[in-house]
Chains A and B, each alone.
Chain A
């Protein structure tokens, strides 16, 4: 939406623009999928990110051929980009679940117009994240040894290892997000089924809708299940990044062995997640003219969430630094020194700027409600959060206890190809999504209309 928005709207933008009815909402959103022709812009983006996905596949193929040695990892830095990206993507995923589950429990109605594609984003992000733990294995073809199955070795995974926790947390998270997203879709799929002119489209949507017909009984059970899922997803989403943070917190490495990690990883996750939501929402509402549904109110609120979580993250850094000094443990104090003066100091400074410094502009409404500015801020935050993981993984590892085994880490072109490749795959999947599924929850939008209220018949 252009900067010259009416003052009234700026003061308190509504969650849905006035003048809409059940019918208009239904038609506007479903038409994006059913009626709207394929645009060139879409084709270009789809094709471009498709190519990048190809690059990812190439990088992976070569990786399996030669081994993780093609990456920059070494001893002492046994984990490099792979784990950095893993944590980054998982974090991004969190916003989706947060919006759809936690905000639902908090009765935040403004969520209704963004939860659908936020959840889709979660799925794709988690898919990207899920790749890395597998790719970074020395022998990826044995990944299934991390699952307990009755094998002829009579040997099992080692459940004290945070990596096993990861496997369970991430796969649970993905499954739950998927079903949550899917049952959210069912009523809309029914809508599409009934709107589709094309027989085959009707068929496909029909099969997916599973014969939903909006019976009051169904609705009641449906609402209950949805609510329960939200209730389950909320602790889940918090647990997932906590578990991810355990990968580090459980280790004895200075800079990893910290109790502050779980809360500030979760905060960081939501921080980066909302940044990604905005980076997707802002162009989409423009491209598909959805300013009525994704209003400035949404941008404003998301920005506020980012500000809040950003401050929590800042607090996390502060505590880390303070403890480095206060604990009197010279390994920890050296870690702090190394972040400030070591060979990777610039990543640390950049991270402070991206995650703490620059986002403070969000205190100002005219940064929160100007889509373009907000887009920039989000981009900066995403970079910052990636750097945070880099700092945690690499700076802690490259100089640990024994000075004799200190080393350096330099990413190779394969590291970069894999990283960029996943971004490509993420957007590729997202382009696909907006074409074939309603990116905004139609039935939940309907409930936002005033006429959805049942007036007490006297």
Chain B
């Protein structure tokens, strides 16, 4: 795909309601490579830009299962295979006693999987990003809402797209340099 000097076009909105409707219309207009930014989570927004499957849950589940089996097998191996000892006449495989650690390991692995999974899927850390080139974007973490159409979108055309965005009555429109 040919590289354009422009990263995308960004429109700024004042309220959650505006950005959500704007995003919906952009998506309906056939733009696919789009994104929206808000200072707090807005469930409708992701829907609006057509983002549905996030995949964190799966990662977490895998992590959890790993922790669970890993935890129990570790204990089983230690007390039955590696060095079986007679501890107070208790059975080698004292599974009731092993439950606790198994449980803790499950939680630990699941938790870490959730966090790092989320970061990885979000491609974080990413301290540099073109959108930060837009001065107004600083308000994305305060009280402003932004919609962006990436230049990589098939339907993207610097003139057409700008006109389309204007039709959404944003506070302002700015071009995001790559």
Contacts and interface: CB of A to CB of B under 8 A. Distances in A.
Interface of A: 21-23, 26, 148, 154-160, 164-165, 168-169, 172, 175-176, 179-180, 183, 187, 190-191, 193-195, 206-207, 209-225, 228-229, 232-233, 235-236, 239, 243, 246, 443-444, 446-447, 451-455, 457
Given A175-B111, A179-B112, A194-B138, A21 B143 contact: yes
A214 B107 contact: no
Contacts of A243: 100, 104
Contacts of A209: 127
B124 A160 contact: no
B42 A172 contact: no
Contact of B97 (A160, A180, A191): A160
A444 B94 CA distance: 45
B112 A221 contact: no
B125 interface: yes
A176 B142 CA distance: 28
A154 B16 contact: no
Given A26-B143, A159-B98, A235-B107, A216 B132 contact: no
29 contacts: A22-B39, A22-B143, A26-B39, A154-B82, A155-B83, A156-B82, A157-B78, A159-B98, A160-B87, A172-B108, A176-B108, A187-B40, A187-B141, A194-B141, A195-B141, A217-B122, A218-B122, A219-B41, A220-B46, A221-B56, A221-B121, A222-B41, A222-B118, A239-B100, A243-B100, A452-B40, A452-B42, A455-B17, A457-B17
B45 A216 contact: yes
A444 B40 contact: yes
Contacts of B37: 213-216
B140 A210 contact: no
Given A168-B104, A211-B129, A216-B51, A191 B141 contact: yes
A148 B74 contact: yes
Contact of B16 (A155, A224, A444, A451): A451
Interface string B127-149: 11101100001111111000000
Given A155-B83, A159-B101, A216 B126 contact: no
B178 interface: no
